[in-house]
Structure 1
Amino acid sequence: MANGVRLPHDAWVLVGDGRRALVFQNEGSPDKPRLVVQQVFEAPPNPSTAEQGTERPSRVVASGEGGSRRSAVEPTDWHEIAEARFARDVAAALCEASRAGRFDKLAVVAPPKTLAELRDAFDDPVKKKIVGEVDKTLTKHPVAEIERLLAG
C-alpha cells in the first residue's frame, strides 16, 4: 500500500470521504491487491445551507471601556456537521463489524478532515487493527485504480 504500508490478504480497506464510504476486502496479496466490495455507505442528501439555517451570520455586541463593538458570529456550517456525523456513523459500523470478528486488519483511505473524524470515532479495538492510513480522496476512482494506487 502507499506510504510503505502493506495490505495483508483478507484485510479490509475503508475508502471514504464526508459523503460516501466503500469498504473492501483484499482477496489478493499485499503486492497485488484484489479489492472486493463488502459494504457501501452513502450520506443522506445535504440541502444548501440556506435551506438548513440562516444565511446571514448573527452579530454580537461587545461593550467595554472603548464603547461597544459589533462583530459577526461564524455561521454554522451544516455541511461540515453532516460530514462529521457521516464519518462517525461509518466508524460505528466498522466498530460493530470488528466486534463481530469480520476483520483483523484495516487500512483507511480518506481526505485529512474525514481521516481525523474517523480516528476520533474508532474505538480502541479498531484502532489496534489499523495497518495503515492514506490521506487521499479516492471514493470516485474505479476499483482497479484504487488497487493500483494501494499497491504502490
Structure 2
Amino acid sequence: MAKTISKIWALVLNGARCRILRGVSGKGEDTPAELVLRSESRNLRDIMSDKPGRSFMPAAGGRRSAMEYGSDPLAEDQREFIRQIIALLESHRRAGDFDKLAVFAEHDMLGHLRQMMPPTLADLVIREVPKNLVQLSAQDLAEAVARGLQDGSGMS
C-alpha cells in the first residue's frame, strides 16, 4: 500500500503580520518557502481622523449632535486582516496545496482566528500554539515550527 505524504503548512501570525510556511515537514530539514502578508497597520489616530459625522435631529429642536463610531476600529482592522488570511488559505486549500495546517499565533489572534475560520479550514488544523513567532529569522522560524509539530500530535 502506498504511503500518502501530507502537505503541511504553518500559519504564523500576530496582529500586524502573517507568515505562511509551505511544505513544513516537522523534521526541520529545509527552510520552507514562505508567503508573507502585512496588515495596513493603521494607528487609532489615523482611523479616528475621519470623523463619523454629525446627525440632525428635528424632534430635538433641530439640534445637531456628533455620531459615535459603531465599533472598535482597531478590532475591525484586525478582523479584516484575518479575513484576508483566511481567503488566501482557502484558495490554496481548494487548489490542494496543503492538507494539514499548524497555527502559531499570539493568544488574542488565535482566539479571533478560531471564531472566524470556516469549518473547511478548521478541520485541517493539526496543532495550535499560542506563541508569537513572527519576528524570528527564516531558519529560526522553521526550527521553532518543527519543534512545535514534534511537541504533540493533537491540539494544544
Q: TM-score, normalised by structure 1?
A: 0.70
- Give unpaired runs (5+ residues) of structure 1: 1-7, 55-72
**Which shows bigger deviation, 18-27 or 102-111?**
18-27
Matched, 1:12 2:9: yes
- Aligned equivalent of 1:34: 30
Q: Which residue pairs with 1:51 in the alignment?
A: 46
For the 8 Å contact 2:23–2:33, the answer to whether it is kept is no
Structure 1's consecutive aligned runs of 4 or more residues displaced over 4 angstroms after TM superposition are: 73-76
State the alpha-carbon separation in 1 of the partners of residues 70 and 87 from structure 2. Answer: 28
- Please, which of 97, 102, 106 is the counterpart of residue 97 of structure 2? 102
1:76 CA drift (Å):
5.3
Structure 1 residue 151, shift from structure 2 partner = 3.0
Q: Give the direction of change, closer, same or farther, for the CA distance of 1:42–1:31 in structure 2 (3 Å limit).
A: same
Residue in structure 2 matched with residue 133 of structure 1 by the alignment: 128
Instruction: Say which SS state the counterpart of residue 111 (structure 2) adopts.
Output: helix
Once the two structures are TM-superposed, the CA of residue 26 in structure 1 deviates from its matched residue by: 3.1
Q: 1:21 is matched with which residue?
A: 18
* SS in structure 2 at match of 1:13: strand
- Displacement of 1:21: 0.6
Q: Which range is displaced more, 76-85 or 113-122?
A: 76-85
Gaps of 5+ in 2: 50-67, 148-156
**Paired residues, what number?**
125
1:89 aligns with 2:84: yes
Opposite residue 105 of structure 2, the aligned amino acid is A
Identity %: 24
Secondary structure of the 1:150 match is: helix
Structure 2 CA distance, aligned partners of 1:131 and 1:35? 20
Deviations 1:84-112 (A, max 9, x none): 21012101211121112111111011011
Q: TM (normalized to structure 2)?
A: 0.68
Find the aligned partners of 2:123 and 2:83 in 1 and give their Cα distance.
18
